[in-house]
Amino acid sequence: MVEVKVKNFPVRYLDNRYLAGDEFVMNKEHVNDSLVEIIGEVETDISKMTVAELKEFAATKGIDLTGVDKKDEILTVIQSHIEPDEQEQ
């Protein structure tokens, strides 16, 4: 995950719209250098994330959380889909 800043044109990411100058976090694989500028790396210790952050993280990884609402259940699903080193980058 990286923190990015929108360059000149609005960007839509995970159903959110960001305007020029807005900063947000996105999956590094989704970065389009013509639309956003990387301004920093984001540590990904998923155990410290909120439920909303976990759901966004899962969405960026293409992990389906249908029917999963509790934090411990979400963590279990995510951990079963990602590499161990990716859990604590």
Hey, where are the domains in the chain? Answer: 2-41, 46-87
Do the Cβ atoms of 74 and 53 come closer than 8 Å? no
At residue 77 the predicted structure's pLDDT band, cuts being 50, 70 and 90, is: very high
At 89 the pLDDT is 46
Do the Cβ atoms of 1 and 60 come closer than 8 Å? yes
Q: Is pLDDT of 20 > 60?
A: yes
Per-residue pLDDT averaged across 32-52, rounded?
A: 88
Residue 55 carries which side chain, given as an amino acid letter? K
Of 56, 84, 83, 88, the closest CA to residue 74 belongs to: 56
Arithmetic mean of pLDDT over the chain = 87
What radius of gyration, in Å, describes the C-alpha atoms of the chain? 14
For the full predicted model, state whether its pTM sits above 0.75: no
